[in-house]
Structure 1
Amino acid sequence: MKTIVIFGASSGLGLAAVRYFASQDIKVIGVARNPQKEADLNSLCEKLIACDATEFDAVNSAVSELPKDAVVLSTMGSFRSDKPVDYIGHRYLVDALEKHGINRLLMVTSLGCGDSWQYLSERAKAGFGAAVREKSLAEAWLVSSSLDYTILRPGGLKDGEVTEQGELSQHVEVHGAINRSEVARLVHQLLLNDASIGQIYQCVDPTVSYY
């Protein structure tokens, strides 16, 4: 993997992923609503693309600038945002990637999405259940697409260094937290493994406290 395209690059998990992949000497194309929000992006990214993912024409235009062999990572999310992107942004991204023949997408959602909804506490459902449901819709749209997809559902996200202790799992109940930089490392691991295509994983780090 020579180049990775990161949607949601200007903050949170996306920014942590930019920093991680740049540290691995992998070229990064950063895509964000406001790519100038974070000064580091100019030095970390080979190219920056401004894109409001709630507008299909903007997403389509951004995707049209990408190389056909691009590996795409989406960390887009909109918890408590006035412009929710969780479902519609990913629907537009999936549609644009299909249109332009770019096949590989790893989408980061969260624990509680899809069949893991049953494991969310009532407090969590009340607090951020709407965002989780939007992300679940995005997962369904991706799974029913023609793309070579992988979905990763991390636990509670925290700032911190790569720990090498993050754990990937499937089809079991898990709870916990994980550093954003460690999620980026696990994303890299999954993208290097073709067996991850068509799979859904979750990840937490037992060495990281949720509180």
Structure 2
Amino acid sequence: MKTIVIFGASSGLGLAAVRYFASQDFNVVGIARNPQKEESLGSLCQQLIACDATDVNAVEAAVSQLPKDAVVLSTMGSFRSDKPVDYIGHRYLVDALERQGINRLLLVTSLGCGDSWQYLSERARVGFGAAVREKSLAEAWLASSSLDYTILRPGGLKDGEVTERGELSQHVEVHGAIHRSEVARLVHQLLLNDASIGQIYQCVDPTVSYY
């Protein structure tokens, strides 16, 4: 049974991913600043690790507990936080994975990162542009690492069931929303495909309304 390690496991997309991969019979290792924040993690995860990813020593300690053949998924983010994790947390994580010889990382960021910044509206840039820029820095750090990486940029995230209608794309302008559980399904799809290594994708679901 494959092990998947999920950073940011206690809420939002990370929690949706924990629920999805537990349902697919993965060994799930959940990592979060406060794993006790979500009671269900105890029954969904084979292992829980508390880690403040803005603390380099905490990241090193967490990664040192992971099996070498683990697949790592990071959903970490900190919109409007006084202590943003988006860039520095991922810098620490990438560096720690390299040192431990754990090679596979799928990073979830958002539409608007990297070369898709040009498609963000002025309103979006004002509203959450700072977080997008932090995530773009994380993407750049990962892309210049030695890891077998994949980057996924979803549209607006909403709660809801797996729809099987989410669409992956590359190098085109897209806008829209998607359920967190559907993003988790697409993550699984990408992890099963070695051709996704070294690639950046975006995803939205045309059946899900943004509003």
Question: Which TM-score band applies after superposition, normalised by the shorter structure?
Answer: over 0.9
Question: Which digits, 9 at most, give the CA deviation of each residue in 1:47-106, with x for residues without a partner?
Answer: 000000001000000000000001000000000222100000000000000010000000
Q: Secondary structure at the match of 2:42?
A: helix
Q: Map of 1:86-101 to 2, 5 A cutoff? A: 86-101=86-101
Instruction: Indicate the SS of the match to 2:84.
Output: coil
The TM-score with structure 1 as length reference comes to 0.99
- Post-superposition, which runs of at least 4 consecutive aligned residues in structure 1 deviate over 4 A? none
Q: 1:174-189 to 2 correspondence within 5 Å?
A: 174-189=174-189
Q: Tell me the number of residue pairs that the alignment of Structure 1 and Structure 2 aligns.
A: 211
* Aligned-CA RMSD value: 0.5
Instruction: Give the equivalent residue in structure 2 for 1:111.
Output: 111
Aligned ranges 1:1-150 → 2 under 5 Å: 2-150=2-150
Q: Give, in whole Å, the separation in 2 of the partners of 1:83 and 1:34.
A: 15
* Identity level (%): 89
Following the alignment from structure 1 to structure 2, what is the Cα–Cα distance between the partners of residues 116 and 74? 20
CA distance in 1, matches of 2:33, 2:82: 13
Aligned mates of 2:80, 2:113 — CA distance in 1: 17
1:162 aligned partner: 162
Counterpart-to-counterpart distance in 2, 1:75 and 1:42: 19
Question: What is the distance in 1 between the residues matched to 2:25 and 2:148?
Answer: 24
| Structure 1 spans left out of the alignment, 5+ residues | none
CA shift for structure 1 position 8? 0.2
Secondary structure in 1 matching 2:78: coil
C-alpha displacement at 1:178, in angstroms?
Answer: 0.2
Unaligned runs of 5+ residues in structure 2 are none
